Amino acid sequence: MKKNIKLAKHAGFCYGVKRAVETTKRLKSENEQKQIWVLGELIHNSHVINELSKLGIKTVYELPEGNGGICVIRSHGASPEVFEQIQKKGYEIVDLTCPDVKKVQQKAIGVVQQGYMLVIVGKPEHPEVAAIRANAQKYGENIIVAPDIDSLKAYETKIKEHKKIGVVVQTTQRIENLKNIVDYLTGITKELLVYNTICASTSLRQNEARNLAQESDLMIVVGSKKSANTTHLAEILKGITNTIHIETFEELKNYDEEILKAKNIGVTAGASTPENIINGVIKELEKYN
């Protein structure tokens, strides 16, 4: 059966990720004698991390004492304490926090400064969310992190007592999740301030993928299983059509049956998925013709 394979227009690197990767590579080429360190994975993609490693750019989770060089703050951002520690250890800082993530941090700080209890909609363990919380905590302790309504319900008494609630959202969250949480909070608060801080790239990517899924027998989402925006894409599309989530083209062989059955195949990818990985998947799919 001849396959109709369609790649989403907005698939692969978003602006913030592209900026982080290109700037880090340029830093190395312009500072060959200096060691470039990245504190935590620059983006959630092992292929990119390996590529940086081959260029001599080191990914670490704790900076060694006294080595010096340049320390890159990844696109997810970092806490004020981390910035202080880096400076104390004598490293030069290059802050590559995504501008959209910076905006969430500023909104979160503003909410706390105005006396609202802050609700951060997102995954507590995600580095972006941890950085948002840490930046807001400098100005107050009334902060809740909740990925969904069930998690938020544990704080219902506390929320009702405080009465004034402000909401910000992890940039890669699903809009449906935000809507559900806002609906829930509306019923138990006197004053509700909501900032929809889902980034434009995420919204655009999700909406386009939804439309593509509606005309596809099979959707293929390409990207790291550790990437929040990629896993959210897969979650959304699974509710529309048959969907598989892979990291590289090699995994396609595990889904031979689904691919052979499908006539219209849609492909999308997370914001941290390199173009060459996406192209590899398309080329492999074309072999099924």
What residues are annotated to the active site?
A: 128
What's the distance, CA 55 to chain centroid? 24
d(CA 35, CA 130): 27
Report the 10 Å Cβ neighbour count for 264.
Answer: 15
Give me the phi and psi of 71, to 5 degrees please: -110, 125
Report the 10 Å Cβ neighbour count for 87.
Answer: 12
What's the distance, CA 130 to chain centroid? 12
**Bridge partners (DSSP) listed for residue 236:** none
**Bridge partners (DSSP) listed for residue 58:** 37
Q: Which two tokens stand for residue 223?
A: 């990207």
- Measured in Å, how far apart are the chain's first and last C-alpha atoms? 7
The owner of tokens 């400098």 is: 138
Q: Is the dihedral of CA 24, 26, 31, 33 positive or negative?
A: positive
d(CA 205, CA 17): 14
The owner of tokens 């501008």 is: 99
